[in-house]
Amino acid sequence: MWTDGYLRFYQPRPQASRLLICFPHAGGGASAFRAWPFLLGDDTEVAIAQYPGREDRFGEPRVEDMDTLLAELLAEALPHAGRRPFCLLGHSMGGAVAHELAMRLTSRGAGPCRLVISGRQPPSHHPLNSTIHQSSDSELLAELLRLSPDNEALAQEPELAALLLPVVRADYRLIERYRPGDCPRLDCPITVLAGEQDPELSPEAAHAWSAYTHSDCRVHFFPGDHFFIASQRARVVATVRQAMLEEERT
């Protein structure tokens, strides 16, 4: 594995024709996308953002402010942006991070070829009065169970919950305090991935991403809840790969 500050390259492919940079969900780490390089193939290199305070950065202070996080990610992404075509992909909180980073890169003449948003509502639908980060641990666990029954493991393993809940809470604090500013339309197309039973992203909100690009916006629905991106991984990866290939043909 090659590590480069925030970015993790579990399967380095510097000669690959394209780069995909992925941004995990709240409470998640780079391992959420660890299998992607093997599923996408040799012509795609995958870089995954590792936010501080988890996995191999567990001992580092967590970032709880969107602007701080974006400033650091921008500094690391810019050197990669000019080398070859690249796409940004973010799931849930990572979708907001990816969109904000896409706007910042575009303003510097180094925008992505495509933005892939997974399980995240657009800025026009961003909740402004959510205070989940102020909840008790039991309430936070209930919220995670609302998103997916697969999170039941946290409720059954107190030691695991004690390690992960502070990370989840910090990320919720970041995204709940985030306030989208002006959002100039991107020049690149947007691909939206959504779970059919995801309580966080309605079909209306998924299609509303079309207002954030001058180009094409396509929405793809998959069986599953908020974490369909894991339960439907093979289908999701195939859809993302097809979207990247279509962009290169145009």
Contact of 89 with 23, CB cutoff 8 Å = yes
pTM for this predicted structure: 0.94
Where is average pLDDT lowest: 38-52, 131-145, 219-233?
Answer: 131-145
pLDDT, residue 3, reads 57
Calculate the average pLDDT of the chain.
93
pLDDT, residue 35, reads 96
C-alpha dihedral over 78, 82, 86, 90, to 10 degrees?
Answer: 10
Q: Write b or e for each residue in 168-194: b if 16 or more Cβ atoms lie within 10 A of its Cβ, otherwise e.
A: bbbbbbbbbebebeeeeebebbbbbbb
- For 14, half-sphere exposure in the C-beta direction (CA atoms, 13 angstrom radius) is 3
Domains of the chain: 2-127+185-249 (3.40.50.1820)
Residue 210 to residue 202: CA distance in whole angstroms: 14
Phi first, then psi, for residue 232 (nearest 5°) are -115, 35
More confident residue, 233 or 164: 233
**Beta carbons within 10 angstroms of residue 156's beta carbon:** 8
pLDDT, residue 93, reads 97
Across the range 129-138, mean pLDDT stands at 86
- pLDDT greater than 90 at residue 148: no
The residue behind tokens 């925030």 is 6
Residues classed as catalytic? 92
pLDDT, residue 250, reads 57
Q: Is residue 78 very low, low, confident or very high in pLDDT (cuts 50, 70, 90)?
A: very high
Q: Is residue 115 very low, low, confident or very high in pLDDT (cuts 50, 70, 90)?
A: very high
Q: Is residue 108 very low, low, confident or very high in pLDDT (cuts 50, 70, 90)?
A: very high
Residues 6 or more apart whose Cβ sits within 8 Å of residue 45: 9, 11, 12, 13, 14, 16, 18, 19, 20, 37
Residue 144 to residue 5: CA distance in whole angstroms: 29
More confident residue, 126 or 163: 126
Phi first, then psi, for residue 137 (nearest 5°) are -60, -40
